[in-house]
Amino acid sequence: MRHLSVPSHETERWLAFCRAKGWLDGTGVVALEGDRRGLPLTEAAPSDAADVWQGNAVVDVEPRAKGPAHWRERLPQELHHLPSTFWPSAYEIQGDVLMVKVEPEVEPHETAMARAMLEQLPNVRLVCADDGVEGEFRVRQLRPLLSSDGSMSTRTQIREHGVSIWVDPSKVYFSARLSTQRLETLEAMKRFRKSLGRRLVVADPYAGVGPSLPLLLAEPDLVQGYLVGDLNPEAVELLSLNLDHWVRGASVFAPATVVCEDALNWNQRPEFLGSTDVLLVNLPHNSLDHLSGLMPLFRQLDRSLLRGWAIVERTLLSACPQRIHDAVSEANGRCEDVSVEEIKGFSSTRCFVVFQTIIAWD
C-alpha cells in the first residue's frame, strides 16, 4: 500500500495536510527506517512524484496491522492479570516525548509499560516517568524510561498554529493549554496597532521558549522589535534557537534583544526603560506582584498595552482590577479599561485569569 514517507517530526503537519485533502487512509501511521513515518494514502492521493509531496518519497509498504486499541493490551502476558485501574489512565505528549505519572506500585513494571506505549504510539520516541514539578523554574522532574531510537534526550519539537517550537519539558516550562491565549494576544495587538497607527515593540520578560512570539513576528507590519528573556538559562537557549528559526528571512526587528535575567531587574537597564508598547506578563503565581517593577519598561509617551496571566484565590478575584489600576497609577499612568477574565477549568479554590488593559500616559 502507498505510504508517504516523512521525517517523524513533520508527521503531525503532513497528517493534517493529507487529512484535509481527503488523501489519508484510516489504517494508521507506520514506523519506517531512518526516523521516518509512513502515512497511508488513499487511491485519490496524487502520484508518487507529485510536487505537492515536496520531495518526500511515496513508498510501498505493508499497511499497519490492525492492532490493539489500547497500550495495556500490548503488555506482556504475565501482567495481564493486573486490573486496568492499576495502570496510569492518562499521559501527556509534547512533540515525540510522552510523560506519565508512575505510582510506586507500577514502578517495578514501568519498562514494560513504556515498551507497550512505544509500540502503540508510533509518533512517540521517548517515554518518561513524570515525577512532578520542582524549583523556581517550575520544570518537571522527568525520568526517561525507554526510547525507540536510543536517544534519551527530552528536547523535542511541537507544532502550534502551524509553527514549530523547540521545547524541553525536563528543562523549561511550557504548556500547550495557553495556545488559544496566544491567538488572542495576536488579535489584541492587531487592534492596538490599528489604534496607534504604527508597528509595536513587544516585551515578554517571562518568555520561556517563546511560544507567544511566532504568531506576532509572522504578522506583517505588526512588530517593530522585541525584548524577550527568561531567568532560566535553559529557556533562553531554546528561545534563541526558536527565534533563529522564526525570524529567518523576515524583515529586521529592532530591537531584537534576548536576555537571561530576572525580569524585576529589567528596570535597571537604561536601554530597556521607556522602550516597549506591549508588555506580556506570564508568571502566573507572581504576575500581579511584579507589575509595579515592570511599568518603567513602557514607552510612557503614547498609549500602551498590558496583557498578563495570573493565578488568584477565588475570594480575591474581585480585587484584581484594582491591583492593576494601582500598579498603573503609581507609575503615573491611567487604565482606559481593565478586563480580568477567568480561563475555565483550573481549580475550584483558585482561578487562572487573563488580564488586559490599555494604559494612557497623560
Ligand X SMILES: C[S@@+](CC[C@H](N)C(=O)[O-])C[C@H]1O[C@@H](n2cnc3c(N)ncnc32)[C@H](O)[C@@H]1O
Closest approach of Cβ 209 to ligand X, in Å? 6
Among residues 192 and 206, whose Cβ is nearest to ligand X?
206
Closest approach of Cβ 260 to ligand X, in Å? 9
| Residue 263 found at the interface with ligand X (CB under 6 A) | yes
| Residue 279 found at the interface with ligand X (CB under 6 A) | no
Count other C-beta atoms under 10 Å from residue 249's C-beta. 5
Site map 80..119 versus ligand X, x via CB under 6 A = ----------------------------------------
| Residue 137 found at the interface with ligand X (CB under 6 A) | yes
Closest approach of Cβ 239 to ligand X, in Å? 9
Closest approach of Cβ 136 to ligand X, in Å? 6
| Residue 235 found at the interface with ligand X (CB under 6 A) | yes
Residue 336 class from Cβ within 10 Å (0-12 exposed, 13-18 middle, 19+ buried)? exposed
| Residue 232 found at the interface with ligand X (CB under 6 A) | yes
| Residue 206 found at the interface with ligand X (CB under 6 A) | yes
SS3 283: coil
**Contact window for ligand X (CB under 6 A) among 19-27, 93-101, 202-210, 295-303:** 202-210
Instruction: Work out the angle between the directed axes of helices 320-330 and 287-294 (0-180°, nearest 10).
Output: 20
Q: How many residues bind ligand X (CB under 6 A)?
A: 22
Among residues 225 and 308, whose Cβ is nearest to ligand X?
308
Strand partners, 142: 130
The span from the CA of 228 to the CA of 200, in Å, is 14
**Contact window for ligand X (CB under 6 A) among 73-81, 87-95, 150-158, 169-177:** 169-177
Per DSSP, 154 falls in state -
Closest approach of Cβ 237 to ligand X, in Å? 12
* DSSP H helices in the chain: 11-21, 110-120, 179-196, 213-218, 233-247, 287-294, 320-330
Count other C-beta atoms under 10 Å from residue 335's C-beta. 18
| Residue 11 found at the interface with ligand X (CB under 6 A) | no
The span from the CA of 59 to the CA of 33, in Å, is 12
* Closest by CA position to 288, among listed 335, 331, 266, 320: 320
Q: Which residue is nearest to ligand X (CB)?
A: 208
Cell numbers for 177: 493549554
Closest approach of Cβ 186 to ligand X, in Å? 14
Q: Which residues contact 162 (CB under 8 A, 6 or more apart)?
A: 13
| Residue 156 found at the interface with ligand X (CB under 6 A) | no
Q: Which residues bind ligand X (CB under 6 A)?
A: 137, 172-175, 178, 205-208, 211-212, 230-232, 235, 262-264, 282-284
